[in-house]
Amino acid sequence: MGRQKIKKITLCLLLFSLTLTLTVFLVLRYPQPVANLNNQDTAQSIPLQIDTDQIHGIPLYIDHKYIGKSPLSTKLPPGKYRITAKPAGYVGSVRYLTLKPEDPADQKIILPVDQHNYQDFLDEITRLGYQPVRVMDYYDHVPLTKKTMVLRHDVDVSAAYALKLAEMEHAKGIKSTFYFRWSTADPQVIKAIRDMGDEVGLHYETLATYALEHNLQSAQEITPSVKEQLRERLKSEIAEFKQKFGDISTVSSHGADENIRLGVSNYQAIMKGQDPSDFGVIGEAYGEVTDHFTYMSDSGGFWEPFPYPQLESDRGPFYFLIHPIHWASSFHFIHPVHVSSSFNKNLPLPR
Ligand SMILES: [Zn+2]
């Protein structure tokens, strides 16, 4: 074997081992593990950047789990996610996201941030020329325009917050509807709100109460005979509410934990498809009224949908469901109220 040949073989071996080292290095290096929220990071995980519009440092949540403040980057396995941004004391925003491996990586989403307290909200709708009406006004055939806005409040937790909202509206000449649960029906607050010209009604939870009493486990247990009992119960409740607090024209269905567990709302089980006059009222807040408006809700403390861009458009008339409890930034001057454990959950629209 000549010297040249030995040199060539040595060179080849050197090149081969270099290539091998490089290959091993690359294989070990990629894919690179990245810290992940759920420790579910896989080679398939998709990078995601989450930010909030105009303002940073807003608490972010993925599927109800806190992940830090905006802006931030994360990696998630493919799947469906509910991403929310929630400034304390203000109504948050939500984005439903489907991450797929075939979609381009490096996804970036920007969530809007509501910085309106309730006074600001009223100023904004006034500036845009909206004319709030009560739920009963719709059923009394008030003329509708694109600027009509049904303004409804479900008083789930605090009568004191409801009164503050009503006072702010009254100062601007705005009338709306307040639905009280039996647990929030404070006679003095109801009288004060009525005296300002607002509508008052019952926020009924008849199925939820029955489900607790009878330990109902599934929707199948809500038989026709159970429904009949529920209807009779609600009729009595409405009569009793009228007797205690004065005449009412409409009622609205409350979304309790039991309704979520059963997958059936109070409205679906009791009043849907029924004649409201059989119950002594002219309409239900989830009745036909909702067919005629663009529906906006702060249920669970999150706007769905985020209303402000739509208010600037001509997509009216609108129907706003606003819960006083989600506007804490507007009430810093009154004592915080106890919030029941059943609250702060994102209640689906009970329809
Ligand atoms: Zn409610």
Query: Is 173:198 a contact under the CB 8 Å cutoff?
Result: no
| C-alpha of residue 313 to centroid of ligand 1, in Å | 29
| C-alpha of residue 255 to centroid of ligand 1, in Å | 5
Spatial separation of the C-alpha atoms in residues 12 and 180, rounded to whole Å: 86
| C-alpha of residue 28 to centroid of ligand 1, in Å | 55
| C-alpha of residue 50 to centroid of ligand 1, in Å | 31
The pLDDT score that the predictor gives to residue 333 is: 56
Q: What are the DSSP calls for 160-190, one per residue?
A: HHHHHHHHHHHHTT---EEEE-TTT--HHHH
The pLDDT score that the predictor gives to residue 119 is: 95
| C-alpha of residue 254 to centroid of ligand 1, in Å | 4
The pLDDT score that the predictor gives to residue 299 is: 94
The pLDDT score that the predictor gives to residue 30 is: 41
The pLDDT score that the predictor gives to residue 43 is: 64
| C-alpha of residue 347 to centroid of ligand 1, in Å | 9
The pLDDT score that the predictor gives to residue 52 is: 97
119: enclosing H helix or E strand: helix 118-127
Spatial separation of the C-alpha atoms in residues 256 and 248, rounded to whole Å: 22
Q: Which fold has domain 118-330?
A: TIM Barrel (3.20.20)
The pLDDT score that the predictor gives to residue 328 is: 85
| C-alpha of residue 149 to centroid of ligand 1, in Å | 20
Q: Could you give the angle at which helices 118-127 and 159-171 cross, rounded to 10 degrees?
A: 30
Burial 126-159 (b: 16+ CB within 10 A, else e): eeeebbbbbbbbbbeeeebeeebbbbbbbbbbbb
| C-alpha of residue 323 to centroid of ligand 1, in Å | 8
Q: Give the C-alpha distances (Å, rounded to integers) separating 162 from 19, 107, 156, 331.
A: 73, 41, 9, 10
| C-alpha of residue 299 to centroid of ligand 1, in Å | 8
| pLDDT block averages, 10 residues each, the chain of length 351 | 66 61 48 43 80 95 96 93 94 93 79 95 97 98 97 96 96 98 97 98 98 96 98 98 98 96 97 98 95 95 95 94 92 51 37 33
Global pTM reads 0.82
CATH number, span 46-111? 2.60.40.1120
